[in-house]
Structure 1
Amino acid sequence: MQDAPILTSEELDFIQDLQTPAPPPGPAQTPSLRVDGGAQTKALLTRLAASDQLTIEAHFNGERVTFPLQLVEDEFHSLSLEIGLPQVVEQGQCERPWRQRLDPAIALVDEQGKPSGVWLHSLSTTGILVEVRHQLVPNNLTLWLPQSGSEPIRLQGILARRTEQRLVAYRLSGRKTVHSERLRQYIYQQHRLLNQLEPAI
C-alpha cells in the first residue's frame, strides 16, 4: 500500500508558481494571496500577524521550505498576504540551511572585480566554504560573488573553522541588508533550478 502523497498536485503547482522568478523587465512584483473570508477570519489573521510571523510551510525531499507572509490591507479594506523570499532548510539529524555545492569552484573577486585568490566551494545563507590559494587565511573576509548580467553579491564573513580537505569555513553576517537579501534570492533561485518539483502519483 502506497503512502498518501505529502503534497497534492495543486499544492505543488502553487509552490512551483512561487518559485518562478519574476521576468527581468519592469518593476519586481511581490507574489500575494487574496484573503477571502468574513470579519471573524480577517480579525483572526490580523491578531495573529500582530503577535507572530505568518508563514506557509512545505516539507519534501528531506527539506523544509518556509515562506514568510506579510498581511496587507488595501484602501478597500481587503486583505492579502504578500509572500516573501523563503528559507530552505535541510532536515536530518540536525537542521541547517540548504547549501549550494559548486563544482567546479567559483573564483571570488575583490571590490574592484579583480581575482582574490579565494575560490568558493559551497554557499548558504549563513556560511561559505572556500579554498584560499597562495596567501594567508584571513580572519575576516569581504569578497564578491560574480553575477552574470548584474552586480556581484557581497559576501562578508568571520573565520569559523578549517577542514581536513584544506578548505576554510566562514560564518556570514546575520544582519539583514540589501546584500543578504540578494544572497537569499540567489540561493533560492539556485535551489529552484536544482530541485524541480514533481507531483506525487
Structure 2
Amino acid sequence: MRRDALLTQDELDFIQTMQHNPQLNVRDANSSLLVNGGSQIRDLLTRLAANEQVTIQAHFENQQMTFPLHLVEDEFHALHLRLGVPSIFEDGPRVRPWRLTLTEPVALENAKGQPTALWVHEVSFNSVLLEIRNRAKPPKQFAQWFSPSGYERIALRGRLERQTDAGFYAYRLNQSDQDETERLRQFILQQHRLAHPNLHV
C-alpha cells in the first residue's frame, strides 16, 4: 500500500464488504411511499403532513393498522413522504390496541439491569399488563426497562389504571421519549409479523 493512500487495506476491505452485503442494500419497503395520482394529490398530502397529523388506515380481518405519514428532508433538501411505524388495533365491541401476549412473562428491569417484582404478561403500544411478584405492593407509577429476549431494552413509564379479575395490574403507558415509543411500536410490529405472517408478505 502506498504511503500517501487515504485508506488502509483493512478500511477498503470493510467498505467493499458493506457494499456487497445484501441485507444492507435492501430498501425498507415499509418506509418509502410512492404517491401516484398527480402532483395535486402529492402537494396536498405534503402540505397536510407538514401542518397536521396525517395517517393511512388499513383494515383486514378483525384488525386495523394506522400508519402515520411523516415529511422528511433528504440530503438535497427535497421533501418526501415516509410511512412511520403503524399502530395496530383489534376490532370488537370497542376498538382497542392490539395486545401482544408473551409466551413467557418478562421481568421489568431497573436502570442497572436487575429484575424487579413487575412481570409483563401483555403489552401494546399504549398499555401493559403486569403481574406483581414477591407480595410487593403495586406501584401507582413505574419507570423501568422492558428487555424481551433478543431485543434491545426499551424504557417504559406507566401509571396504574386498575386491577383485573385475574389478579394482574393494567398500566397506561405514558412515554416521554419519542424514540422509546417508536422502539416499542417497532417491537410490537415485529411480533405482529410473527403472529400474522400472511398479513406481512
Q: TM-score range by the shorter chain?
A: 0.7 to 0.9
Structure 1 counterpart of 2:104: 104
Percent identity between matched residues is: 44
Using the alignment, how far apart are the partners of 2:24 and 2:31 within structure 1?
A: 15
Give the deviation of 1:36 after TM superposition.
4.6
Structure 2 counterpart of 1:184: 185
Give the deviation of 1:114 after TM superposition.
0.9
Equivalent pair of 2:193/2:199 in contact (CA under 8 Å)? no
Structure 2 unmatched runs, 5+: 1-22
Using the alignment, how far apart are the partners of 1:155 and 1:88 within structure 2?
A: 18
Structure 2 counterpart of 1:68: 68
CA RMSD of aligned residues (A): 3.1
Secondary structure at the aligned position of 2:152 is classed as strand
Equivalent pair of 1:35/1:80 in contact (CA under 8 Å)? no
Task: String of CA shifts for 1:104-145, please: whole Å, max 9, x gaps.
Answer: 212222111112022111001111111101111111112211
Larger Rg: 2
Structure 2 counterpart of 1:123: 123
Using the alignment, how far apart are the partners of 1:77 and 1:159 within structure 2?
A: 44
State the number of aligned residues.
177
Using the alignment, how far apart are the partners of 1:145 and 1:24 within structure 2?
A: 28
Give the stretch that moved more between structures: 63-72 or 88-97. Answer: 63-72
Give the stretch that moved more between structures: 100-109 or 140-149. Answer: 140-149
Q: Evaluate the alpha carbon distance shift between residue 39 and residue 103 of structure 1 in structure 2; reply closer, same or farther with a 3 A threshold.
A: closer
Using the alignment, how far apart are the partners of 2:179 and 2:49 within structure 1?
A: 24
Using the alignment, how far apart are the partners of 1:74 and 1:144 within structure 2?
A: 33
Using the alignment, how far apart are the partners of 1:89 and 1:113 within structure 2?
A: 31
Larger RCO, structures 1/2 (Cα 8 Å, 6+ apart): 1
Amino acid aligned to 2:132: V
Secondary structure at the aligned position of 1:33 is classed as coil
Using the alignment, how far apart are the partners of 2:146 and 2:24 within structure 1?
A: 20
Using structure 1 for the length normalisation, give the TM-score: 0.74
